[in-house]
Structure formats: C-alpha cells, structure tokens
C-alpha cells in the first residue's frame, strides 16, 4: 500500500483529530497570527507530550495506532468529553472492540415483560442501526403503531429524516435530530466501516440534505436523558422525560423510556390508553 492510500479507519481517525484540533481556541497570549482555525499541530503535540512529526502523521492517517496511554493524553490535549473520548478509542481500533455485523438481535422475553410493566411510559427497544424491534402499548398510543409499518420503515432515523410530518409533530425537531445523529455516530464507530450502521449513515447522507448537514458537524454524545416534546393528534402537546438503557446480553440493544414529565402529561397518556 502506498503512503498516500489510507484505510477507512485511519482516515476516520485522522479526520477526527483534525476536526477536534481546529475547534479548540488558543489560550490568551498564544503567539503568532493564524492562517487556520484552532490550535496548531505543534501545540496539540506539546499538550499530549508526543512529537510533532508523529502527531502530524496521525492527522495524515499514518504512524500506526496509538497506545491507550497516548490516546488518553490526546483526549486530554483535545479537551474531549466522555463520548468524544470513546469515539477516539473506537476510531483508533482500541477497546471497546468493534461490534461485528450480525443477524437482527433477539429481544429477550424478560425485556418484553419490562416493557409491559411500564403502563404509562412509552418505551421502545432499538438496535445499533436504530431499527425498532420491540415496544409497549403506551408507545403505540403516544408514538405510533410500529407494528402497522413494514419492517424497513421501523427505523427511527429513516422516520426522522424521511417523513416530513415528523417536523410538524416535533416542536424541537432540530434539537431532536442533532441528538440522534450525535448518538448514532458512536454506533457507526462501534460497528466499523463495513457495518449495517455505516451503510445506513451512507444511505442517509445521500438521501437527506438535513442528515448530511448535521452529520458534517461531527457532533458526538452518549444518549443521556432529557425532555422530548411532541404534538399528538388527540392529546395535543406532550412533554416526556427520555432515558436510555443498554440491554445486558442484548447484542447492542438499547431501551428508550419516555416518562411523562408532569402529572398533566400522565393524565393525557392515561386518556389515550382508555384509563380513568
């Protein structure tokens, strides 16, 4: 392989390092006028206690995979948060290991029992490619009947970016999709360049200008929790507190639970479920 040919993994690591370096602002009193945004390579190298030549090679996709110790120093030098640090390690092909492509994960019976035990909290289970593979009755009442859709259309990202009515139903659509793409970026890195998640990202990049724009921003985050607002055709506006849980022994499955944010929201959901 010639030195000008980069593997997809090396190119991704190189691009990530460049993007994060260019986002950093020089400290007060930093010398010299700057032709490009962010810190200079030598400044990041000094922060990380590595040679400028070797750091330059990393940004060019050369030099080999950094050790975990060096990755930790690079994470500190680039001021990465927890999600960005995980992505850095994934792109460098370090632990945690990549998730190999596999058949559709099986939803354990115990997990379905958990879903059914959440009577007023819509809950769904999704794969690393954001396919919805399980849901409860509250999810059907509040979020929609996923069972009525063809299997390919039970994909959260395809819904968000491919169905125009989603913008009308989500008052904070832009914030919602930026969150989704930032979380999905880690799923793509975990799966690797040949995964179904990577193929889905490529499909959305070609099919949606909005996804392409947000993907290009290179944001990354862990799911965390927050408030999601939606407009329901019968109940009106609902506010839901969302929380994400990784499913143990679930082959990458995650459960998203949407808890009513207020007593009024709980009453509206009870009404949709036919409860007094």
What digits encode the pLDDT tens for the residues 69-120? 899 999 999 999 888 888 898 888 765 544 554 556 788 889 999 999 999 9
**Cis before 96 (ω within 30):** yes
Lowest mean pLDDT among 24-28, 39-43, 174-178: 24-28
Higher pLDDT, 3 or 100: 100
Q: Which residues in the chain are classed under CATH 1.10.260.40?
A: 8-91
Q: Which residues in the chain are classed under CATH 3.30.450.180?
A: 109-272
**C-alpha distances in angstroms, 165 versus 143, 161, 240?**
13, 10, 19
Lowest mean pLDDT among 1-5, 128-132, 260-264: 1-5
What digits encode the pLDDT tens for the residues 237-257? 999 999 999 887 667 899 999
Distance from C-alpha of 121 to C-alpha of 242, rounded to nearest angstrom: 10
Across the strands, what pairs with 155?
131
Q: Report the first-to-last Cα separation within the chain, whole angstroms.
A: 69
What is the structure's pLDDT at 162?
94
Q: What is the CA radius of gyration of the chain?
A: 21
- Whether 229 shows a pLDDT value over 80: the answer reads yes
What is the structure's pLDDT at 37?
72
**Domain spanning 8-91, CATH architecture:** Orthogonal Bundle (1.10)
What is the structure's pLDDT at 3?
37
What is the structure's pLDDT at 29?
52
Region 267-275: mean pLDDT is 93
Q: Exposed, middle or buried by CB within 10 Å (0-12, 13-18, 19+), for 196?
A: middle
Q: Per CATH, is 109-272 categorized as 3.30.450.180?
A: yes
Give the global pTM.
0.77
């Amino acid at each position: 392989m010639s030195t000008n040919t980069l593997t997809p993994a090396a190119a991704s690591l190189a691009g990530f390092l460049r993007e994060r370096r260019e986002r950093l602002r020089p400290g007060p009193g930093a010398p010299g006028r700057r032709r490009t945004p962010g810190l200079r390579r030598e400044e990041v190298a000094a922060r990380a206690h590595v040679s400028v030549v070797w750091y330059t090679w990393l940004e060019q996709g050369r030099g080999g995979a950094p050790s975990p110790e060096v990755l930790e120093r690079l994470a500190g030098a680039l001021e990465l948060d927890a999600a960005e640090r995980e992505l850095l390690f994934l792109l460098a092909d370090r632990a945690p290991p990549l998730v190999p492509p596999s058949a559709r994960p099986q939803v354990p019976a115990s997990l379905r029992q958990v879903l059914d035990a959440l009577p007023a909290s819509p809950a769904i289970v999704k794969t690393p490619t954001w396919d919805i593979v399980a849901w409860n009755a509250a999810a059907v009442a509040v979020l929609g009947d996923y069972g009525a859709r063809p299997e390919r259309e039970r994909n959260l990202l395809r819904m968000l970016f491919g169905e125009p009515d989603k913008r009308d139903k989500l008052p904070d659509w832009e914030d919602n999709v930026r969150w989704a793409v930032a979380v999905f970026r880690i799923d793509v890195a975990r799966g690797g360049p040949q995964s179904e998640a990577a193929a889905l990202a490529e499909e959305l990049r070609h099919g949606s200008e909005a996804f392409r724009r947000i993907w290009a921003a290179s944001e990354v985050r862990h799911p965390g929790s927050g408030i999601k607002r939606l407009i329901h055709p019968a109940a009106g506006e609902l506010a839901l507190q969302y929380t994400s849980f990784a499913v143990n022994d679930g082959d990458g499955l995650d459960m998203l639970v949407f808890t009513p944010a207020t007593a009024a929201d709980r009453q509206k959901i009870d009404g949709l479920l036919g409860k007094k």
